Chains A and B, each alone.
Chain A
């Protein structure tokens, strides 16, 4: 019988083993950290990031879209593209997660350009100190910087209000009255601070100061590639397009290469989707990854993270299958199965652990589905029939209940399918 000390050491070792595994399978870890830790299979999508980056490098002003469902690995591909571009030395790739910096839901025309301008300014002078009095960049870029800053964050303008005019809500207190009227300060809101303003100035207002920054950078022979991530959060294609189209036109004029993420509705939604696709030089679709005897890409993802420490081949195959080829679900299921094993005091993952976590994931997808949606899913499963032009079906794609293996091949998420109540057979 082990002594109490030996038992305690064994417990610590087991805990350490599980924690190490959990860290490798953390579905919420920032993609940048995962890449740096060497846990990413870079050829998972046939090295798509190289295609993205090479075209952006070779064709200044080109615009490419990366379309994919939630959890498909878009951010990872974008960051890999950024790393590749950085290695080329003559290109300056600027990665901007728009949704992190500002309220994407309230964005309007000009927001992307404002983000890019500030990103360039910050690259040249971290903390923006060099644009002020006595700063190194004051003489060359002080003026354009002031314009960029007020465009992004707003400014006050002194205006004259005639006597008897109503006070708009956004007027500040008067400080200079006379008999016929008075001067006051009106706040002109910026593009990057909620609540977002309605468009008050033409986007062309910002063209000149931004062009000055670009020209300054190009003196050092560095072309700009801007990577706009986070735009895929705008699930509705119309909203996505209303935010980006004016900004992208300006960036094309300025010969800035653009890589941007976009939601699946751009590919499958009726109406605006096609015109968006037509605008871009190239649209890349990051579909789910097939799993089966002929394709072991998903198993490679698990092996890269040393899943075999806790997961045998059979359970690994099971997790790959039930992930549906959605990368984040693959990572989540692998982590959750280990968690089940840990809290159940087992030393490795069993079939029961996998079954339980698949049930949990499937139930999460099932909640919120009405009888009609379930009928659609069962129909897809039985007859492979799925009308992607219907808005309700696009919703099923956006919420990952239905997965796109290609632009014409759809299937129900396997974890969801495993918990859908099957209809009772009709009695004769």
Chain B
């Protein structure tokens, strides 16, 4: 029987028999189901995913009428990264007018709220100009990035140095201080960009420093929603599982460490988040059908638990996409179609 062309999680080509493809899909779904304690994909969904993964075409897409909204993180950093010397206003226009983007995002090259604060007087006029120029919504986005608040880069003792010494209490106190600094910066920066006309604020890669990072983003969201009741806040996560770097942080009575996407979204929407972005990491040594089945299982449960729109993170190495510099079009379009059609999410 002919082999099916597929890819590994690092993007390299691979071949699977039909039985191997089915096995990978079932195992990927089971892995997510067992970790998050959510239902695995049902038989019809597995069959649908099998057919999509078996498709030999170079590019595929959703059925007409099933299209969804796209939002972006780090938008204005992406063209300069290719060595094309453009200003950020031109990048926003390129996304709007060349890439068919439904929304865009203005961002700063360091992509951390802390780093934006000292240059905010230079950056907010760019948002004002962007709003005169653009038709599609323009978010402002950056990461909480709690790591920047620890020594030697920041003011608080470094938990990564305290924990190996057994100084758990001191490490937790350091994280709690870092949260205070981060919330202050996120609220300051987000307020300035909202008052400059931003259509929304993106807290991106939330949880990259574990539960303190998530806590900071939730607190900042609550403050901003109180300050500006109609503000749109998108929260994109760093991974499928909130690492317990502090381990004892709660928000509205819910322990943050160990939350999976279907639980993360409930905490986020209660805090006032408008759009939630689950992020499911890709394993580079398993096949893309395995990674995709796993990502779809987590995301489907998240969509079912959400009362707010869900935009799945589907960039390099997340959401069933390969982790490589130039993700192959066959794998990306296959993942885009499968995630959209099976999970019924609201955007990517």
A and B: real partners? no
Instruction: Write the residues of chain B forming the contact surface with A, with a CB cutoff of 8 angstroms.
Output: none
Which chain A residues have a beta carbon within 8 Å of chain B's beta carbons? none
